Amino acid sequence: MEHNSSNFIRNIIKEDLESGKRNHVITRFPPEPNGYLHIGHAKSIVINFDLADEFNGKTNLRFDDTNPLKEDSEYVHAIKEDVQWLGYDWDGLFFASDYFQEMYERAVLLINKGKAYVDDLSPDEIRSHRGTLTEPGKDSPYRERSIEENLDLFERMRKGEFSNGEKVLRAKIDMKSPNINLRDPVIYRISHATHHNTGDAWCIYPMYAFAHPLEDAIEDVTHSICTTEFEDQRPLYNWIVEECEMTSTPQQIEFGRLNITNAVMSKRKLKQLVDEGFVDGWDDPRMPTISGLRRRGYTPEAIRAFVRETGVSKGSGTVDSQMLDFFVREDLKMKAPRTMGILRPLKVVITNYPEGQVEMLDAEINPENPEMGTRQIPFSRELYIEQEDFMEDPPKKYFRLFPGNEVRLKHAYFIKCEDVIKDEDGNVIEIHCTYDPETKSGSGFTGRKVKGTLHWVEATQAVPADFHLYEPLLLNEEPEELEGEDTEEGTEAEKTFLDQVNPNSLQVLKGFVEPNMKEVSTQDKFQFFRHGYFNVDPKLTTKDNLVFNLIVSLKSSFKL
Ligand code: ATP
Ligand code: MG
Ligand code: MG
């Protein structure tokens, strides 16, 4: 497997192994099952699995499922599918919720050491006591409860004697710490809710900041790789591992998040796009989710190459989505069969071609990969070309069809436009042409040259197909920047990103493809000559109706 060279985490691991600080490597990918994975998660997956792979280590898939209100088995299933599709096999498959008993016992240990206390302050009061960057926090009046009282109250919290929010368990660290995360963070809360894994066994749940270091230590994770927003939590992470007397001591290392242009990445925002009907599900081909990219036609190879190319550093930036497009073109160039499809059909009649006759022409499947062989395509008196390939009154340098002009039909003959047929309103509905049998493709004809080469589909056997063309789902290049922090309650700010939804992000065209396309399977990928790469949509394609999703256009788009 190839690895990107700019990766500071690799250097840390290498040194740890060389110095003897570690004798093995275990990483983990720890998604919360509260949504589908997106391309940012792909980055985390690739980093964790690639590093373990490079140092003969292991990578766990761990569901960080400590919040019963947001999590669901549907997401667990989808996440597993996406990780496997990206090409990775996890070593251990774990659920943080399987550790609830151990976490509870570690919390009791903290209480016994005088390092945790039950607090009766309301969430608002806790917030106002916390202080600010410039102002120290204030102790809670419950901070000095006795160990016995704390043990009793915590047990009663567990038994369900209190309602949501009535009490919390807090780590007793330092209300005056310059690091706000160390000002007695809440480590357990009451939530009378059914959990997707543990059902109603628990009504108290550990907070992320308490649970995560324990999960890592329980699994003997050596390098716990996360994104930079957790940097300030690292002292708390270390405090918990130490004070909970974990035998294993994982090291948290942060790297910069991946963002891509014209996309939001937060699962909360993606869920909003789904729930409010802006898209057709988490796997809508316009979504930056792994399932959306898959349905659009991006390949795991392209996604892996893309995220590797973005490198691993502390800084986070917005990467142009065109870079991902570059990698998918690279990947499909050799693999995808070439074919011809007409997106906006215009009928052409070859007036000097015998009526009723059909001939089969040889066409190479991939000029860049001749091993793929040839296909047979029919040619007859009636064809479809693209509407945009004909102009009655063209500007200079228009080399396609216009009255009196001759062009080449790919894999077939030269044709010359002789006549234009219009309806009552003056719209062009049919073009009459003549062909020259001497110019047959492959015959070695050199008598004269033409400047334009058009794609086409024989009309009587053409297979109708829908083409879905896409523009970015969001108009703003950096929609994540539109709001500040990704807060739980930021409803006001959410408006701004939804305002950026592109009303033209999906265009559906009804056209035709070659008759040999009748046999395609969903997720098959093709390069339609002069248009770009397309994927057979797995959700909308039926036996009678093919749907092709535009993955990416060709780099050199044919411009007027
Ligand atoms: P979101 O805000 O999108 O919900 P999250 O960080 O809450 O993301 P998790 O399910 O907790 O989502 O993420 C699992 C792992 O993926 C974490 O280690 C997280 O840091 C990483 N991750 C999430 N988003 C990105 C991103 N944009 N770039 C790189 N890594 C990411
Ligand atoms: Mg998270
Ligand atoms: Mg999240």
Rounded to an integer, the average pLDDT of 424-434 is: 97
| Complex prediction ipTM | 0.96
- Ligand 2 center to residue 32 CA distance, Å? 6
DSSP annotation of 366: -
What confidence tens digit (pLDDT) does each residue in 147-185 have?
999 999 999 999 999 999 999 999 999 999 999 999 999
- Ligand 3 center to residue 261 CA distance, Å? 20
Query: Which of 66, 212, 227, 267 maximizes ligand 1 atoms within 8 Å of its Cβ, making it the mutation to test the pocket?
Result: 227
> Distance between CA 294 and CA 287 in Å, rounded?
10
- State yes or no: is 257 an active-site residue: yes
What confidence tens digit (pLDDT) does each residue in 365-388 have?
999 999 999 999 999 999 999 999
Rounded to an integer, the average pLDDT of 513-521 is: 96
- Which amino acids bring their CB within 6 angstroms of ligand 1? 30-32, 40-41, 43-44, 64, 226-227, 257-258, 265-267, 486
Half-sphere exposure of 239 (CA within 13 A, CB side): 22
Model confidence at 530: pLDDT above 70: yes
Query: Would you state the pLDDT for residue 163?
Result: 98
Closest C-alpha residue for ligand 1 atom 4: 267
pLDDT-derived band at 492 (thresholds 50, 70, 90) equals: low
Give the atom of ligand 1 at the shortest distance from the alpha carbon of 230.
20
> Distance between CA 439 and CA 445 in Å, rounded?
5
Give the atom of ligand 1 at the shortest distance from the alpha carbon of 258.
28
Give the atom of ligand 1 at the shortest distance from the alpha carbon of 257.
28
Residue 307 sits at φ, ψ, to 5 deg, of -70, -30
Whole-angstrom Cα Rg for the chain: 31
Model confidence at 557: pLDDT above 90: no
Mean pLDDT rounded to a whole number for the chain:
95
CB 10 within 8 A of CB 258: no
What confidence tens digit (pLDDT) does each residue in 198-229 have?
999 999 999 999 999 999 999 999 999 999 99
DSSP annotation of 150: H
Percent of the chain having pLDDT more than 90? Answer: 93
Closest C-alpha residue for ligand 1 atom 22: 41
Query: Would you state the pLDDT for residue 559?
Result: 39
Closest C-alpha residue for ligand 1 atom 18: 226
Closest ligand by atom to 264 CA: 1
Query: Catalytic one among 62, 115, 267, 525?
Result: 267
- Give alpha helix (H) positions in 287-388: 290-296, 300-309, 321-335
For the chain, domains (ranges, CATH) are: 8-255 (3.40.50.620), 338-467+506-553 (2.40.240.10)
Query: Would you state the pLDDT for residue 494?
Result: 55
Rounded to an integer, the average pLDDT of 446-467 is: 97
Rounded to an integer, the average pLDDT of 454-470 is: 98
- Ligand 2 center to residue 31 CA distance, Å? 7
CB 35 within 8 A of CB 291: no
Model confidence at 560: pLDDT above 70: no
- State yes or no: is 172 an active-site residue: no
- Ligand 3 center to residue 35 CA distance, Å? 8
Query: Which of 44, 60, 290 maximizes ligand 1 atoms within 8 Å of its Cβ, making it the mutation to test the pocket?
Result: 44
pLDDT-derived band at 481 (thresholds 50, 70, 90) equals: confident
> Distance between CA 238 and CA 249 in Å, rounded?
8
pLDDT-derived band at 556 (thresholds 50, 70, 90) equals: very low
Spatial CB neighbours of 552, under 8 Å, sequence gap ≥ 6: 325, 328, 329, 532, 533
Model confidence at 307: pLDDT above 70: yes
Model confidence at 13: pLDDT above 90: yes
What confidence tens digit (pLDDT) does each residue in 324-344 have?
999 999 999 999 999 999 999
Percent of the chain having pLDDT more than 70? Answer: 96
- Ligand 2 center to residue 33 CA distance, Å? 9
More confident residue, 375 or 476: 375
Model confidence at 301: pLDDT above 70: yes
Closest C-alpha residue for ligand 1 atom 13: 31
Model confidence at 488: pLDDT above 70: no
- State yes or no: is 54 an active-site residue: no
- Ligand 2 center to residue 293 CA distance, Å? 21
pLDDT-derived band at 555 (thresholds 50, 70, 90) equals: confident
208 marked as binding residue: yes
Closest ligand by atom to 226 CA: 1
More confident residue, 238 or 490: 238
Rounded to an integer, the average pLDDT of 391-395 is: 96
pLDDT-derived band at 483 (thresholds 50, 70, 90) equals: low
Rounded to an integer, the average pLDDT of 95-124 is: 98
Give the atom of ligand 1 at the shortest distance from the alpha carbon of 270.
3
CB atoms within 10 A of CB 328: 24
Place of tokens 């299933």: 77
> Distance between CA 156 and CA 144 in Å, rounded?
19
Closest C-alpha residue for ligand 1 atom 25: 40
Closest C-alpha residue for ligand 1 atom 9: 31
Query: Would you state the pLDDT for residue 479?
Result: 83
